[in-house]
Structure 1
Amino acid sequence: MQNNNTTDLLKSLEELYLAKDYGAARKELLESRELFSPGIFHYNLGTIDAKKGNFAAGRFHLEKALKGDFHDVRVVNNLEQVKEKLHLQGLSQSTNYYDQILDQATSWNSLLPYSATLLLLIILLLLIRKKVIQHIAVILILGLVAVTPVMLEKYLVERVTSAIVLQPAPRYEGPSAIFDKLSTISVGSKIIIREHDEKWVLVLAPQSLVGWVKREKLGTY
């Protein structure tokens, strides 16, 4: 029965989408959220928001879909189109090495680092078993390389949070508006933050935007 409901809903959403009735499509999608996996829900919501011209919200939901359980070329394509519409210099374009590492690492699905490490360790064990690699030093170095994805996940990614700026976000020198205002972060920007309290977060990347912003301005994922 649920499969039939989902099929009917998808058909209805498609008809509304093709008719460019994005408001009705969004409302129907939100009312039927429980019928979809989180990834597919956020993909559809992000696509609709982008069509409505809300590119910041569109990016937020598409990024959330990509990091969740929906890995599809359509998500990537729609996300790239939204980024082009926003005309922002993102983390991926930063020349700062730390920014680039954080951008890539926080875009992964949380299971990917473990899968990558497992695959690399299996390959390493096969090479050792076939005596392709025999030197202990080389084995140790390759072993460290193999566990790098998990180490990066545990000691870096799990300590930070990705966010999309949904409203213009004034950036301050400290966690209060009494501190000097440094700049305003543009809507649609992707930033990497560290949790501080219920009201304030610390921006860690891009390096050019390090400072404090109000949590209410952001969509985190």
Structure 2
Amino acid sequence: MEDTTIEDTLKTVEALYVQKDYANALKTLEANKSKISSGLWHYNMGTVYAGMREFGKARFHLLQAEREGFISKESEQNLELVEKELETTRLEKPLAWSDYAVRGAMIASEGILSTLALFVLIAGMVGVLKKKSLSAFAALTVFVLLIVGLDFWINSWPLAVVSAPQGIQDGPSAIFPTREELPAGVLVLATHQGEWRKILYPSRYQGWIKNTGLEELK
């Protein structure tokens, strides 16, 4: 439970939101960031940005809230509405096998792999205890560690949400012309190279963009 001071702060934010005074709602949240649990703070930031129709920033905060364990009926509804406004289904539609692989891996990392690791561990330990085999125990341990390691690796991918439209270029330099625009709200997997990032996913947007206008998920 949040303490009374934080509850009052959130009530103030809610009142400002209802009045459509979004600027002061954001200021109130930013001033009290250290006092509010991170997931709840991101949820409220996402909700306010959605009210402002800044859907790219809204999606970032709502996804970050979800990654930090803040999941509720309201947060899921807000995220669904924001993604509908952004048309993420169309913009992030897989076009290549790599898109399907990345998307599948991200879905698997949302609890599926950890659940699988636990199931394999429990089922495997039952078998090991029956056989009393040291080699079977070693094989089980390696397999479970591989699953856990895969889950950890996927969750370490540098994912970011585009908060403002970006120009995509063919190389990490201003000498390259802008090829097309990367729309706000798109979730990208991109590696760092100085002031630039190379987009790997979605494949339709592969190219180079500046670091500005991106909100990195942690």
* Residue equivalent to 1:150: 148
C-alpha contact 1:22 1:48 (8 A) present in aligned 2: yes
Aligned-pair Cα RMSD in Å: 3.2
Report percent identity of matched pairs.
28
Q: Residue 218 of structure 1: CA displacement? A: 1.1
* Residue equivalent to 1:204: 200
C-alpha contact 2:22 2:48 (8 A) present in aligned 1: yes
* Residue equivalent to 2:173: 176
* Residue equivalent to 1:84: 84
C-alpha offsets along residues 108-127 of structure 1, whole Å, 9 cap, x if unaligned? Answer: 888x5774354123332255
Report 1:46-85 matches (<5 A): 46-85=46-85
Higher relative contact order (CA 8 A, sep 6+): 2
C-alpha offsets along residues 111-147 of structure 1, whole Å, 9 cap, x if unaligned? Answer: x57743541233322552697xxxx99xx79x84x55
Structure 2 length as normaliser, TM-score? 0.81
Report 1:116-131 matches (<5 A): 116-125=115-124, 128=127
Looking at structure 2, the residues matched to 105 and 85 of structure 1 have their Cα atoms a distance apart, in angstroms, of: 25
Report 1:17-32 matches (<5 A): 17-32=17-32
Kindly tell me: are residues 90 and 122 of structure 1, through their superposed partners in 2, closer, same or farther at Cα, counting changes over 3 Å?
A: farther
Structure 1 counterpart SS, 2:174: coil
**2:191 paired with 1:194:** yes
Kindly tell me: are residues 155 and 8 of structure 1, through their superposed partners in 2, closer, same or farther at Cα, counting changes over 3 Å?
A: closer
C-alpha contact 2:43 2:62 (8 A) present in aligned 1: yes
C-alpha contact 1:117 1:148 (8 A) present in aligned 2: no
Identify the match of residue 162 of structure 2 among 165, 170, 181.
165
Extract structure 1 runs of 4+ deviating beyond 3 A: 103-110, 112-115, 146-149, 153-157
Name the count of aligned residue pairs: 212
Structure 2 alignment gaps of length 5 or more: none
C-alpha contact 1:47 1:58 (8 A) present in aligned 2: yes
C-alpha contact 1:113 1:150 (8 A) present in aligned 2: no
Kindly tell me: are residues 66 and 124 of structure 1, through their superposed partners in 2, closer, same or farther at Cα, counting changes over 3 Å?
A: same
* Residue equivalent to 1:38: 38
Which amino acid is 2:207 matched to? G
Mean alpha-carbon deviation: is it higher for 50-59 or for 181-190?
181-190
C-alpha offsets along residues 157-185 of structure 1, whole Å, 9 cap, x if unaligned? Answer: 42x31111122211111111212432111
